[in-house]
A and B are shown apart, each in its own frame.
Chain A
Amino acid sequence: MKDSKKHIRRFLLCCLFVSLFILFVEGIDKRFTVKARGGMDILFAVLWLCMEAEAVWRIRRITAKEGFAEYIKFNKGEFVYLLLSCITLILSFAAPDLAWGRWIILLKMPNILRRYNDENVFQTIAKIIAVFLIAFFIIPFLNVLANAISAPGQIINITPKKIDWFAMHYVVTDKAFLRSFGISVFVTVVGTAISVLSMAMAAYPLSKPDMPLKKTMMMFFMIVMLFSGGIAPNILVVNALGLMDTVWALIFPSVVMVYYLLLLKGFYESIPLELEESAKLDGASNMQVLFKIVIPMAAPMIATVSFFTAITYWNNINNSILYISTNRDIYPVPMYIKNFLGQNPMEIAMNNPTLLTYWDGIKRSYVLMSIVPIACVYPLIFKYLKNDISAGAVKG
Chain B
Amino acid sequence: MKKAKNGKVSLRRQIKQNGNLFLFYIPAVVFAVLFSYVPMLGLVMAFKENPNLLGSPSAIQGILDADWVGLENFKKIFSRPEFLHALRNTHETHERQ
Point out residues on A near B: beta carbons under 8 Å. Answer: 194, 197-199, 201-202, 204-205, 208, 210-212, 217, 220-221, 223-224, 227-230, 232-234, 236-241, 252-256, 261, 285-286, 290
Contacts and interface: CB of A to CB of B under 8 A. Distances in A.
B21 A204 contact: yes
A198 B31 contact: yes
Q: Which of A228, A233, A252, A253 has the most CB of B within 10 A?
A: A233
A201 B28 contact: yes
A372 B12 CA distance: 54
B66 interface: no
Interface string B11-38: 1001101101111110111011011111
Given A224-B36, A252-B34, A255-B31, A202 B43 contact: no
6 contacts: A198-B31, A212-B18, A224-B37, A228-B40, A255-B35, A286-B24
Main SS of the interface on chain B? helix
A252 B39 contact: no
Interface of B: 9, 11, 14-15, 17-18, 20-25, 27-29, 31-32, 34-43, 45, 59-60, 63
A232 B46 CA distance: 12
Contact of B28 (A198, A229, A237, A239): A198
Given A211-B14, A211-B18, A229 B24 contact: no
A290 B21 CA distance: 10
Given A197-B27, A211-B18, A220 B43 contact: no
A254 B28 CA distance: 11
A208 B35 contact: no
Nearest to A194: B27
Nearest to A221: B32
Given A210-B9, A229-B39, A232-B45, A202 B60 contact: no
A32 B20 CA distance: 75
Contacts of B28: 198-199, 201-202, 221, 255-256, 261
Given A224-B36, A230-B42, A237-B39, 15 more contacts: A205-B18, A210-B9, A210-B14, A211-B14, A212-B15, A223-B36, A224-B37, A234-B39, A234-B42, A236-B39, A236-B59, A240-B60, A254-B35, A256-B32, A286-B24
Nearest to A204: B24
A198 B38 CA distance: 19
A274 B24 CA distance: 21
A229 B42 contact: yes
B14 A201 contact: no
Contacts of A290: 24
B27 A198 contact: yes
